[in-house]
Structure 1
Amino acid sequence: MMRTILRHALLAALPWLSALPALAHIEMDAPTPRYNDGQNKWCPCGGGGDGTRNNAGCAIESSDPDRGSTSTTFAPGSTVTVRWRETVGHTGRFRVSFDPDGADQADFDANILLDIADPSGGSGNTGNGNNWAVDVTLPTAPCTTCTLQLVQVMNGNTVDEVPSLFGTSTYFQCANLVIGDGGEGEGEGEGEGEGEGEGEGEGEGEGEGDPAEGEGEGEPAEGEGEPGEGEGEGDAGCRGCTAAPSALFVGVPALLLLRRRRGAGVGR
């Protein structure tokens, strides 16, 4: 009797249970996720639905009307660490993709940044429980409404990369990104500094030159001397001489001649 009651109660609850949101199997920690309501089954970003629309709407931008204002800004070409927790272990693949404008699954499929194996069990790759962390490189083109997508594909295949998410059992998470314009900046600055230094040096040099050559001409000096009468001329070609020697030679004989005349007069 009790079993019958429980069976009927369970059957009565099935419609309600099927309408409950699909609880999170992956929870993104970084970058900041768009949704943190635990609804992972709504393609392409996990949230915004009632959990009954599993993998539906992947061909349209179904999540962008509820994009919200939360976003993380990175420089062009940055290396970003994506962190998440695998709360329910499955076997398959993890994939990180990028949409430069919005959240369209076709764009995510065309811009895959990373595709790695998700082995059985619930252990992550960090050595810290169920925590996962991977590095991806963002594009260099600036964007203001770009989106990073993390998916967990539960297809049991850990070898082959995921060609498409259509028709697969998948859990979704997204993060809104802004890639800033890598422009140029200007700035001014002042600085002061002091310094001391010592130096030693040696040098050698050689030089060549021609000796200077010159010619000079001089004219004979002329001079007159007293007492007495007479004229004298300096020796031609006497460089550095004066007229004084010639005047001396002329003046001495004249003086002797004068004395002789005076002596003759006295004797008369």
Structure 2
Amino acid sequence: MPLKRSLVQRELDDSSSDDDDYVIFSAAQIVHTYSNAKRSHGGSVLGHRVLYRDRKGGHERMFQDYLAVNPTYTPEIFRRRYRMSRDLFVRIMNAVEAHDDYFVRKRNAANTLGLSCFQKVTAAFRMITYGVPADATDEYVRIGESTVLESLCRFVAAVVDIFEDEYLRYTNESDTARLLAMGERRGFPGMLGSIDCMHWAWKNCPYEKQGQYKGHVEKPTIILEAVASHNLWIWHAFFGMPGSHNDINVLHRSPLFENLAEGTAP
């Protein structure tokens, strides 16, 4: 399946006209799509019109806006727009650039300077954070639709490869002891974390499945079950149950207590 018509593309095609709706896609779907997509860069296409986007100027303006010594927008505005601190963003961006050569800025055969890592990662973050379609970032980031989709897939795959061992893992014995001590200090002895479910709206839900995915929320939704400690560290996440289920139904189907039942828990 060509990348242009990949799963991510189909999910995002119809979402450009409504800012109030959300588009749902999971990291697992993106990584799966990226791993199985066949990308072929066959050179110039006869009759293809080249759009001059001033990529260099776009990078310079973005850099001055957010990453310069005296940026146009303050760190507080950066956090509001990127949903994270500037230091955390720079850490992730540098790690992804070092992990995948795709994000390193290069010159093409015509000696034209390509997109920077900052531009590609920003486009990926905007899609993940705000659920916007692939071409919605072009005017500011100066990046084409197909490049945004490839950047998104590569970015998610790189983040999983880099941070999986530290941030995408089960609790170990030291984690369990620390969480129990933390809960006891805060007046909740024996507590490992707080569990809850939330509903994510599925804008492009097929009509024949909407009854299954509608519950107490008017729109079709997909449920996310998560366990977090007081510092917002997520220790468990289970995503994908139809919105017609309640929290107890989701808990019965989630793998939260599997390792405890199997005797493999710390």
* TM-score band w.r.t. shorter chain: under 0.3
Q: Is the radius of gyration larger for structure 1 or structure 2?
A: 1
TM-score in terms of structure 1 length: 0.18
Structure with the larger helix share: 2
TM-score in terms of structure 2 length: 0.18
